[in-house]
Amino acid sequence: MKQSLQLKVGQSLTMTPQLQQAIRLLQLSALEMQQEIQQVIESNPLLEMAEDEFGDDPADANGLDADGEVEYAAKSEATAADTSAEQDSDWETAASSDEWQETIPEDLPVDSSWDDVYGNAPPSGSSGPSEDFDFDARNSAEETLKDHLLWQLNLCHMSDLDRLIAESLIDAVNPDGLLAQTVEEILESLDPELEVELDEVVAVLHRLQSFDPTGICARDLRECLLLQLKELPEDVPWRNEALTIVDEHLDLLGGRDFSGLCRRNKLDEEQLSAVIRLIQTLNPRPGADLGPSNTEYVVPDVFVRKLRNRWTVELNGETMPRLRINGTYAGMIRRADSSADNQFLKDNLQEARWFLKSLQSRNETLLKVVTKIVEHQRAFLEYGPEAMKPLVLHDIADAIGMHESTISRVTTRKYMHTPRGVFELKYFFSSHVGTATGGEVSSTAIRALIRKLTDEEDPRKPLSDSRIAQILGKQDIQVARRTIAKYRESMSIPPSNERKRLV
């Protein structure tokens, strides 16, 4: 084959490091973004947090430094912008201005020193350690259920063999406080040389069942409820009837066979209702309250408020600290200097500029997407989930001129704080169901209608899935019974036979 040289003209998409960084930052949640910023600040000496507030300088009030250069601020002033000419006059979204096209200058002037920001003052939002602050309580591990049971075991007088059996039983307790193994299985796990009998294991188990909380170490739900009922004073109304129902007719109670319970226990509906209310005061999972409770709070990325009959959107400034280039180090850079130290400063300065631009692009994109979502779902903000409109990623992508993959990244693990609560941005996207009149209804709105119907139903005669489908059909919403069942299960609503109860 003869070799030859050819010239071709073509186009290709190249993922530059800057573009890769912008895409990665776009899909980070608020907490992950804070961690990313902290890591960048620790690795790049030319990037720092500007924790000081704006001073009296008019230039500072506009977000500029002393020489009029742009200083990046993650918290947008949320200036109001008209969404379209066809919208009502009472609609407005506040977002960062589209005319914000200033670029970060090549040489930032010296506007502050490192010590101005990182002095000996305590961190933002803190007034220093208090004398009443309990460091041990803050840093110590929470007590687990096993620790609580072992602590009570150490207060008991037992033989070494009984203590060994008790520790084996405690190891078999699940987080709910019930035994995860049978007594026979626990016996087999013990050393055969100990020659332990089954009666000995049961005897030790009965001692553990007297521990706090009441109902702990029960072998099943029936025994757990019985232990709690037996601890009640004998003069508690309906205690004996509750003991009988739990001991002999727990299956009927679980199946909500109220007529069978009344017939077998010779009770009328009012009396049975009182007995059931007593049983409902018991805790079927006595160990759940003693487990570690690491509460995780959702931090909203944007706020949606109604100001003077206009809906406004703005970024949550608390999740994005204000960043800037360290002027002291930036002033040390010399253009003609090719030394290693000068090159190190140049590289970090360029990386800092890229990072700030990526943050600016992330915030602008997030505000654009949320603005269009709020514009489309205004009925939800006004009237609730029942007024939710169908919306897919393609609709927002066309509205703001971006790809669907970008919209997907923006709406993943991002949260919006509205007067109706905090919702993930994905919540506002839903498929549609056709109506008899040719219109469309959001699946989220149908779920809200199902929830409303089940909340308002007669508890004696709960609505079946077929009946709910018929009710929605009268509202021109054609939904199959299987679809109703799927939506109901997604909202953790039990079927009609399990929702039946006595008033």
Query: Over the stretch 349-376, which tens digit does the pLDDT of each residue have?
Result: 989 899 999 999 999 999 999 999 999 9
Digit-coded pLDDT (tens) for 149-191: 999 999 999 899 999 999 999 999 999 999 999 999 999 988 8
* Mean predicted lDDT score pLDDT of the chain: 79
Angle between helices 160-171 and 145-154 (to 10 degrees): 170
pLDDT at 247: 93
CA distances from 400 to 97, 365, 369, 371 (A): 14, 9, 7, 10
Instruction: Give the residue-averaged pLDDT of 119-135.
Output: 44
pLDDT at 444: 85
Beta strands in 320-431 (DSSP E): 323-325, 415-418, 421-424
Domain ranges in the chain are 17-122+307-367, 145-290, 430-499
User: Long-range contact list for 431-435, CB < 8 A, 24+ apart?
Assistant: 431/390, 431/392, 432/390, 433/477, 433/478, 433/479, 433/483, 434/478, 435/476, 435/477, 435/478
Digit-coded pLDDT (tens) for 387-410: 888 888 999 999 999 889 889 988
Digit-coded pLDDT (tens) for 269-302: 889 999 999 999 999 999 888 766 666 778 899 9
For 430-499, CATH number out of 1.10.10.60, 1.20.1260.10, 3.20.20.120, 1.10.3720.10 equals 1.10.10.60
pLDDT at 178: 93
Q: Is the pLDDT of residue 491 over 70?
A: yes
pLDDT at 374: 93
Instruction: Give the whole-angstrom CA distance, residue 33 versus residue 17.
Output: 18
CA distances from 73 to 190, 330, 335, 345 (A): 64, 19, 27, 23
pLDDT at 78: 37
pLDDT at 419: 92
CA distances from 153 to 90, 116, 145, 159, 187 (A): 67, 57, 12, 12, 19
Which residues lie below 8 Å from residue 45, measured CB to CB, with a gap of 6+? 326, 329, 348
Q: Is the pLDDT of residue 98 over 90?
A: no
